[in-house]
Structure 1
Amino acid sequence: MLRVTVEIWPGGEPRRARVLATAFIANVSDLEDISNYTMRVSEGVNPVAGTPAWKAEGEMRGHDRRASVWSLVAKIAAWAAEQRKAVIRRGTPEDSLGYDTSDPMSCARAMAEAAPSAKNEAHVGAEFAAFEKRLMKTVPKDDDKATDNKAPGAPDEGRQET
Protein backbone atom coordinates (compact mmCIF):
# COMPACT_ATOMS: atom_id res chain seq x y z
CA MET A 1 0.00 0.00 0.00
CA LEU A 2 1.13 3.51 -0.75
CA ARG A 3 0.23 6.48 1.39
CA VAL A 4 0.65 9.90 -0.17
CA THR A 5 0.40 12.88 2.16
CA VAL A 6 0.32 16.49 0.98
CA GLU A 7 1.48 18.91 3.65
CA ILE A 8 1.98 22.63 3.83
CA TRP A 9 4.94 23.97 5.79
CA PRO A 10 4.22 27.66 6.43
CA GLY A 11 7.46 29.60 6.13
CA GLY A 12 9.27 26.31 5.45
CA GLU A 13 9.01 25.37 9.14
CA PRO A 14 8.36 21.66 9.76
CA ARG A 15 6.91 22.29 13.23
CA ARG A 16 4.11 24.36 11.64
CA ALA A 17 3.31 21.67 9.06
CA ARG A 18 -0.27 20.55 8.56
CA VAL A 19 -1.79 17.92 6.30
CA LEU A 20 -3.89 19.22 3.40
CA ALA A 21 -4.75 15.94 1.65
CA THR A 22 -4.08 12.20 1.86
CA ALA A 23 -4.34 9.26 -0.53
CA PHE A 24 -4.19 5.54 0.30
CA ILE A 25 -3.44 3.41 -2.77
CA ALA A 26 -3.59 -0.40 -2.69
CA ASN A 27 -2.55 -2.80 -5.44
CA VAL A 28 -5.34 -5.36 -5.88
CA SER A 29 -3.81 -7.47 -8.66
CA ASP A 30 -1.00 -9.41 -6.98
CA LEU A 31 1.68 -6.93 -8.08
CA GLU A 32 1.37 -7.81 -11.77
CA ASP A 33 3.31 -5.68 -14.28
CA ILE A 34 0.01 -4.16 -15.42
CA SER A 35 -1.86 -3.65 -12.14
CA ASN A 36 -5.16 -2.46 -10.78
CA TYR A 37 -5.48 -0.30 -7.68
CA THR A 38 -8.12 0.86 -5.26
CA MET A 39 -7.71 4.24 -3.68
CA ARG A 40 -9.17 6.37 -0.94
CA VAL A 41 -8.46 10.09 -1.06
CA SER A 42 -9.42 12.98 1.21
CA GLU A 43 -8.83 16.69 1.44
CA GLY A 44 -9.54 19.00 4.36
CA VAL A 45 -11.46 22.25 4.30
CA ASN A 46 -9.70 24.71 2.00
CA PRO A 47 -10.35 28.25 3.22
CA VAL A 48 -8.34 29.73 0.32
CA ALA A 49 -10.59 28.04 -2.27
CA GLY A 50 -13.65 28.21 -0.02
CA THR A 51 -14.28 24.48 -0.39
CA PRO A 52 -15.48 21.94 2.19
CA ALA A 53 -13.62 18.82 3.28
CA TRP A 54 -14.34 15.81 1.10
CA LYS A 55 -13.50 12.11 0.60
CA ALA A 56 -13.73 9.72 -2.33
CA GLU A 57 -12.95 6.11 -3.16
CA GLY A 58 -12.30 4.57 -6.54
CA GLU A 59 -10.30 2.25 -8.80
CA MET A 60 -7.42 2.70 -11.20
CA ARG A 61 -7.10 -0.06 -13.81
CA GLY A 62 -4.25 -1.00 -16.10
CA HIS A 63 -1.32 0.91 -14.59
CA ASP A 64 2.14 -0.19 -15.74
CA ARG A 65 4.07 -0.84 -12.50
CA ARG A 66 7.38 -0.61 -14.37
CA ALA A 67 6.81 3.16 -14.69
CA SER A 68 7.90 5.58 -11.98
CA VAL A 69 5.80 5.73 -8.83
CA TRP A 70 5.23 9.38 -9.74
CA SER A 71 3.33 8.20 -12.81
CA LEU A 72 0.84 6.40 -10.56
CA VAL A 73 0.68 9.33 -8.13
CA ALA A 74 0.01 11.73 -11.05
CA LYS A 75 -2.88 9.56 -12.30
CA ILE A 76 -4.38 9.35 -8.80
CA ALA A 77 -3.95 13.11 -8.28
CA ALA A 78 -5.70 13.85 -11.60
CA TRP A 79 -8.54 11.50 -10.65
CA ALA A 80 -8.81 13.12 -7.20
CA ALA A 81 -8.96 16.60 -8.73
CA GLU A 82 -11.94 15.48 -10.85
CA GLN A 83 -13.62 14.01 -7.76
CA ARG A 84 -13.13 17.33 -5.96
CA LYS A 85 -14.83 19.17 -8.83
CA ALA A 86 -17.83 16.86 -8.44
CA VAL A 87 -18.01 17.66 -4.71
CA ILE A 88 -17.88 21.39 -5.43
CA ARG A 89 -20.60 21.12 -8.11
CA ARG A 90 -22.84 19.28 -5.64
CA GLY A 91 -21.97 21.82 -2.96
CA THR A 92 -22.55 21.51 0.73
CA PRO A 93 -26.01 20.72 2.01
CA GLU A 94 -27.98 23.83 2.90
CA ASP A 95 -28.17 24.54 6.60
CA SER A 96 -31.75 24.65 7.85
CA LEU A 97 -30.99 27.90 9.69
CA GLY A 98 -29.49 29.55 6.63
CA TYR A 99 -25.84 29.55 7.73
CA ASP A 100 -23.01 29.15 5.21
CA THR A 101 -21.51 25.85 6.39
CA SER A 102 -18.62 25.81 3.89
CA ASP A 103 -16.44 27.60 6.47
CA PRO A 104 -17.08 25.98 9.87
CA MET A 105 -15.31 28.71 11.87
CA SER A 106 -17.31 31.54 10.27
CA CYS A 107 -20.47 29.49 10.69
CA ALA A 108 -19.74 28.92 14.39
CA ARG A 109 -19.03 32.64 14.93
CA ALA A 110 -22.29 33.61 13.21
CA MET A 111 -24.22 31.10 15.33
CA ALA A 112 -22.59 32.39 18.53
CA GLU A 113 -23.42 35.99 17.59
CA ALA A 114 -27.06 35.06 16.94
CA ALA A 115 -27.52 33.06 20.16
CA PRO A 116 -28.16 35.97 22.60
CA SER A 117 -30.89 37.42 20.37
CA ALA A 118 -32.77 34.07 20.30
CA LYS A 119 -33.54 34.81 16.64
CA ASN A 120 -33.10 31.13 15.78
CA GLU A 121 -35.02 29.75 18.75
CA ALA A 122 -37.95 28.41 16.69
CA HIS A 123 -35.61 26.81 14.14
CA VAL A 124 -33.44 25.24 16.83
CA GLY A 125 -36.56 23.89 18.55
CA ALA A 126 -37.67 22.34 15.26
CA GLU A 127 -34.23 20.76 14.80
CA PHE A 128 -34.40 19.25 18.30
CA ALA A 129 -37.91 17.94 17.65
CA ALA A 130 -36.76 16.31 14.39
CA PHE A 131 -33.76 14.80 16.18
CA GLU A 132 -35.97 13.41 18.98
CA LYS A 133 -38.31 11.91 16.39
CA ARG A 134 -35.36 10.15 14.67
CA LEU A 135 -34.01 9.03 18.04
CA MET A 136 -37.34 7.55 19.13
CA LYS A 137 -37.30 5.30 16.07
CA THR A 138 -34.09 3.68 17.34
CA VAL A 139 -35.01 3.27 21.03
CA PRO A 140 -36.79 0.03 21.99
CA LYS A 141 -40.36 0.65 23.09
CA ASP A 142 -40.50 -2.25 25.54
CA ASP A 143 -38.94 -1.09 28.82
CA ASP A 144 -38.78 -4.69 30.06
CA LYS A 145 -36.03 -5.37 27.54
CA ALA A 146 -33.81 -2.60 28.90
CA THR A 147 -30.47 -3.75 30.25
CA ASP A 148 -29.69 -3.49 33.95
CA ASN A 149 -25.94 -2.93 33.47
CA LYS A 150 -25.03 -6.02 35.52
CA ALA A 151 -22.12 -8.15 34.53
CA PRO A 152 -23.12 -11.39 32.80
CA GLY A 153 -23.70 -14.10 35.39
CA ALA A 154 -23.89 -11.64 38.31
CA PRO A 155 -26.44 -12.74 40.91
CA ASP A 156 -29.69 -10.78 41.26
CA GLU A 157 -30.08 -8.91 44.52
CA GLY A 158 -32.62 -10.53 46.80
CA ARG A 159 -32.24 -13.92 45.09
CA GLN A 160 -30.30 -16.57 46.98
CA GLU A 161 -27.60 -18.57 45.28
CA THR A 162 -28.11 -22.33 45.52
Structure 2
Amino acid sequence: MRDVQNRHRNLPPRTPEMLYNVVRKFYRGAVSHFDLIQEKKQEARAALETGDHDRIRAAVHTLFLEFHFYVTCWLQIELALYRLSRQDERLAQVMENYRPSLEKHVAVRQLLDQTEACVEAQFQPTGDGWSCVQKDAYVFGSIIFTVDEQSLQDLHAVYQAIWEKVDR
Protein backbone atom coordinates (compact mmCIF):
# COMPACT_ATOMS: atom_id res chain seq x y z
CA MET A 1 0.00 0.00 0.00
CA ARG A 2 1.31 3.44 -0.94
CA ASP A 3 1.45 5.91 1.92
CA VAL A 4 1.53 9.67 1.66
CA GLN A 5 5.23 9.84 2.54
CA ASN A 6 6.16 7.63 -0.43
CA ARG A 7 3.46 8.79 -2.81
CA HIS A 8 5.82 9.78 -5.62
CA ARG A 9 7.73 6.49 -5.80
CA ASN A 10 7.14 3.91 -8.52
CA LEU A 11 4.15 5.59 -10.06
CA PRO A 12 2.84 3.73 -13.10
CA PRO A 13 3.08 5.59 -16.40
CA ARG A 14 0.14 7.78 -17.35
CA THR A 15 -0.42 9.94 -20.39
CA PRO A 16 -0.81 13.68 -19.85
CA GLU A 17 -4.43 13.38 -20.96
CA MET A 18 -5.11 10.78 -18.26
CA LEU A 19 -3.48 13.03 -15.67
CA TYR A 20 -5.51 16.05 -16.75
CA ASN A 21 -8.63 13.90 -16.40
CA VAL A 22 -7.56 13.02 -12.84
CA VAL A 23 -7.16 16.71 -12.05
CA ARG A 24 -10.62 17.48 -13.47
CA LYS A 25 -12.31 14.59 -11.71
CA PHE A 26 -10.88 15.24 -8.26
CA TYR A 27 -11.27 18.99 -8.52
CA ARG A 28 -14.97 18.50 -9.23
CA GLY A 29 -15.19 15.99 -6.38
CA ALA A 30 -13.66 18.36 -3.86
CA VAL A 31 -15.74 21.33 -4.99
CA SER A 32 -18.97 19.34 -4.93
CA HIS A 33 -18.16 18.09 -1.43
CA PHE A 34 -17.61 21.55 0.03
CA ASP A 35 -21.27 22.27 0.85
CA LEU A 36 -21.72 18.88 2.53
CA ILE A 37 -18.74 19.64 4.75
CA GLN A 38 -20.30 22.96 5.74
CA GLU A 39 -23.50 21.08 6.69
CA LYS A 40 -21.48 18.66 8.83
CA LYS A 41 -19.82 21.61 10.56
CA GLN A 42 -23.29 22.96 11.42
CA GLU A 43 -24.25 19.56 12.80
CA ALA A 44 -21.10 19.54 14.94
CA ARG A 45 -21.94 23.03 16.27
CA ALA A 46 -25.49 21.86 17.03
CA ALA A 47 -24.07 18.88 18.91
CA LEU A 48 -21.78 21.23 20.81
CA GLU A 49 -24.79 23.20 22.01
CA THR A 50 -26.24 20.04 23.59
CA GLY A 51 -23.13 19.59 25.71
CA ASP A 52 -23.34 15.83 25.10
CA HIS A 53 -19.73 14.67 24.82
CA ASP A 54 -20.60 11.50 22.88
CA ARG A 55 -22.79 13.37 20.43
CA ILE A 56 -20.10 15.99 19.83
CA ARG A 57 -17.48 13.30 19.35
CA ALA A 58 -19.68 11.46 16.83
CA ALA A 59 -20.36 14.68 14.92
CA VAL A 60 -16.64 15.55 14.77
CA HIS A 61 -15.88 12.00 13.62
CA THR A 62 -18.38 12.32 10.78
CA LEU A 63 -16.99 15.75 9.90
CA PHE A 64 -13.48 14.33 9.73
CA LEU A 65 -14.62 11.55 7.41
CA GLU A 66 -15.89 14.27 5.09
CA PHE A 67 -12.61 16.18 5.47
CA HIS A 68 -10.82 12.95 4.53
CA PHE A 69 -12.64 12.76 1.21
CA TYR A 70 -11.90 16.41 0.46
CA VAL A 71 -8.18 16.19 1.22
CA THR A 72 -7.98 12.89 -0.68
CA CYS A 73 -9.10 14.88 -3.73
CA TRP A 74 -6.25 17.32 -3.03
CA LEU A 75 -3.85 14.36 -2.77
CA GLN A 76 -4.93 13.01 -6.16
CA ILE A 77 -4.55 16.44 -7.74
CA GLU A 78 -1.10 16.78 -6.18
CA LEU A 79 -0.05 13.37 -7.52
CA ALA A 80 -1.26 14.20 -11.03
CA LEU A 81 0.40 17.62 -10.92
CA TYR A 82 3.64 16.04 -9.70
CA ARG A 83 3.65 13.70 -12.69
CA LEU A 84 2.70 16.47 -15.10
CA SER A 85 5.42 18.70 -13.68
CA ARG A 86 8.00 16.07 -14.63
CA GLN A 87 6.92 16.48 -18.25
CA ASP A 88 6.32 20.24 -18.44
CA GLU A 89 8.37 22.98 -16.80
CA ARG A 90 5.36 25.31 -16.76
CA LEU A 91 3.51 22.85 -14.56
CA ALA A 92 6.60 22.42 -12.38
CA GLN A 93 6.28 26.14 -11.69
CA VAL A 94 2.61 25.71 -10.77
CA MET A 95 3.57 22.95 -8.37
CA GLU A 96 6.24 25.14 -6.81
CA ASN A 97 3.94 28.16 -6.52
CA TYR A 98 1.24 26.19 -4.74
CA ARG A 99 3.47 23.83 -2.76
CA PRO A 100 2.54 25.23 0.70
CA SER A 101 -1.18 24.69 0.15
CA LEU A 102 -0.68 21.31 -1.55
CA GLU A 103 1.59 20.11 1.24
CA LYS A 104 -0.77 21.31 3.96
CA HIS A 105 -3.74 19.45 2.51
CA VAL A 106 -1.69 16.32 1.84
CA ALA A 107 -0.28 16.37 5.39
CA VAL A 108 -3.78 16.59 6.84
CA ARG A 109 -4.81 13.74 4.55
CA GLN A 110 -2.05 11.56 5.95
CA LEU A 111 -3.10 12.24 9.53
CA LEU A 112 -6.79 11.68 8.78
CA ASP A 113 -6.01 8.10 7.84
CA GLN A 114 -6.17 7.69 11.63
CA THR A 115 -9.53 9.41 11.97
CA GLU A 116 -10.25 8.33 15.54
CA ALA A 117 -6.87 9.57 16.75
CA CYS A 118 -7.56 12.92 15.06
CA VAL A 119 -10.93 13.15 16.83
CA GLU A 120 -9.28 12.34 20.17
CA ALA A 121 -6.70 15.07 19.62
CA GLN A 122 -9.42 17.73 19.36
CA PHE A 123 -10.82 17.39 22.87
CA GLN A 124 -8.92 19.34 25.51
CA PRO A 125 -9.94 17.84 28.88
CA THR A 126 -7.97 20.38 30.92
CA GLY A 127 -8.67 23.28 28.59
CA ASP A 128 -11.62 24.46 26.60
CA GLY A 129 -13.14 21.09 25.69
CA TRP A 130 -14.44 21.09 22.14
CA SER A 131 -13.81 24.77 21.35
CA CYS A 132 -12.27 23.64 18.05
CA VAL A 133 -15.83 23.08 16.83
CA GLN A 134 -16.94 26.58 17.76
CA LYS A 135 -13.76 28.13 16.33
CA ASP A 136 -13.83 25.90 13.23
CA ALA A 137 -10.10 25.36 13.77
CA TYR A 138 -8.97 21.76 14.13
CA VAL A 139 -5.52 20.58 15.13
CA PHE A 140 -3.79 18.00 12.94
CA GLY A 141 -0.30 17.56 14.31
CA SER A 142 1.22 21.02 14.06
CA ILE A 143 -1.35 22.19 11.50
CA ILE A 144 -4.47 24.18 12.32
CA PHE A 145 -6.91 23.24 9.57
CA THR A 146 -10.46 23.37 8.37
CA VAL A 147 -12.21 23.12 5.05
CA ASP A 148 -13.25 26.71 4.59
CA GLU A 149 -13.58 29.35 1.92
CA GLN A 150 -9.79 29.89 1.88
CA SER A 151 -9.15 26.21 1.25
CA LEU A 152 -11.70 26.24 -1.55
CA GLN A 153 -10.18 29.38 -3.08
CA ASP A 154 -6.74 27.72 -2.94
CA LEU A 155 -8.20 24.73 -4.76
CA HIS A 156 -9.70 26.98 -7.44
CA ALA A 157 -6.36 28.79 -7.81
CA VAL A 158 -4.38 25.56 -8.27
CA TYR A 159 -6.89 24.28 -10.79
CA GLN A 160 -6.95 27.53 -12.74
CA ALA A 161 -3.14 27.74 -12.76
CA ILE A 162 -2.91 24.23 -14.20
CA TRP A 163 -5.34 24.99 -17.01
CA GLU A 164 -3.67 28.30 -17.82
CA LYS A 165 -0.50 26.36 -18.61
CA VAL A 166 -2.14 23.75 -20.81
CA ASP A 167 -1.95 24.11 -24.58
CA ARG A 168 -5.56 23.48 -25.50
Tell which structure's C-alpha radius of gyration is larger. 1
Task: Tell me, yes or no, whether TM beats 0.5.
Answer: no
**Richer in strand (by share):** 1
Of structures 1 and 2, the one with the larger relative CO (CA 8 A, separation 6+) is: 2
